[in-house]
Amino acid sequence: MYNHPIFEAEIENLELIKESIVANGYSIINNLFSDEDIKSLLDFIKNKPIKYAQIDPKTRKQIKTLHHFNIHNYGKLFRDIPLNNFIENLNSLLLNDEFYKTPNYVPGNFVVNQYTARSANSALSLHRDDRNPLGNAYYPTWLQWLIPLEDTCIENGCTVIKPKTHKLSDNSKIKLIEEVPLELKTNQVVCWDGRLIHGALKNKTPGTRWALILTFTRWYIKQEFKMIASMDSQILNSLSDREKYLYGATVEERFSPEEGLSSKGDLKYAEKKINQYKLLNDALT
Ligand SMILES: O=C(O)CCC(=O)C(=O)O
Ligand SMILES: [Fe+2]
């Protein structure tokens, strides 16, 4: 058994949730998505052929896991998740750069770093996904959201965390902190600071353990995949202003100073970059 009392709260308690992420490195959030949405997401994922496996962060070897990447390309239900109001509000409190002005109707200037669906099979070693040098900064620069599409438990390979390790850089101290399994129901999600040490247990059951994992970072951090480049022209044509910020179109690298002198782009700049990707799509098809 473990001593750490697991923190969970309802979506009405935005401030408490923020405080738990700052203090404990994570928060469980109850009743964010409807049962119906979770079921539709699961049905879609279960019917989609799988192309990829995962590299273990510690051993760098391929491990047995079912994995989908860039799932913003899987249709509206998947595209709506990063736009969820609560996710947007919490991310804005923790990841926004106050020196990067956005239009009033665009609340955040952080970006999606990676958007995947994962079903546990082998165990995933303890790791942190935030690649910044270790430190004890108050604010995170990465936030990760895990949205279970099936109940998770110790038997089927739930996530494990080492609470409060997000601000620790001393490995001997990290070793002493207990590993806490986060057994989640499908009406719960968990959000953690990307510096928090976490992993996943082995799935000992014959069933799947599907979860969506959505990583957001501050705007200047390199995305795991170039989200804009992963989209076909039809999706590029349908991006809302909010999504142009969210998927990094406003902060795509400039080819030269002729494309603008600030790396904090605006919507006009995003439009230009999106057009460049449309031309690239046309050339490749
Ligand atoms: O699936 C999980 O519980 C955690 C996965 C994870 O940490 C990762 O893929 O980096
Ligand atoms: Fe991870």
pLDDT in tens, 80-132: 999 999 999 999 999 999 999 999 999 999 999 999 999 978 899 999 999 99
Q: Is the CB of 159 under 6 A from ligand 1?
A: yes
Report the separation in Å between the CA atom of 34 and the middle of ligand 1, taken as the mean of its atom positions.
Answer: 23
Q: What is the pLDDT of residues 202-212, one digit of tens each?
A: 999 999 999 99
Q: What is the pLDDT of residues 10-60, one digit of tens each?
A: 999 999 999 999 999 999 999 999 999 999 999 999 999 887 677 887 888
Break the chain into its structural domains and give their ranges. 8-224, 226-285
Q: What is the pTM of this model?
A: 0.96
3-class secondary structure per residue, the chain: CCCCCCCEEECCCHHHHHHHHHHHCEEEEECCCCHHHHHHHHHHHHCCCCCEEEECCCCCCEEEEEEEECHHHHCHHHHHHHHCHHHHHHHHHHHCCCCCCCCCCCCCCCEEEEEEEEECCCCEEEECCCCCCCCCCCCCCEEEEEEECCCCCCCECCEEEECCHHHCCCHHHHHHCCCEEECCCCCEEEEEECCCEEEECCECCCCCCEEEEEEEECCCCCCCCCCCCCCCHHHHHHCCHHHHHHCCHHHCCCCCHHHCCCCCCCHHHHHHHHHHHHHHHHHHC
Report the separation in Å between the CA atom of 173 and the middle of ligand 1, taken as the mean of its atom positions.
Answer: 23
**CA-closest residue to ligand 1 atom 8:** 199
Return the ligand number nearest the Cα of 194.
2
Q: Is the CB of 198 under 6 A from ligand 1?
A: yes
**CA-closest residue to ligand 1 atom 3:** 159
Domain 8-224, CATH among 3.20.20.140, 3.40.190.10, 3.30.70.270, 2.60.120.620: 2.60.120.620
**CA-closest residue to ligand 1 atom 6:** 199
Q: In whole angstroms, what is the distance from residue 227 CA to residue 10 CA? A: 31
Q: What is the pLDDT of residues 142-168, one digit of tens each?
A: 999 999 999 999 999 999 999 999 999
**CA-closest residue to ligand 1 atom 10:** 129
Return the ligand number nearest the Cα of 69.
1
Ligand 1 closest atom vs CA 211: 1
**CA-closest residue to ligand 1 atom 7:** 199
Q: Is the CB of 150 under 6 A from ligand 1?
A: no
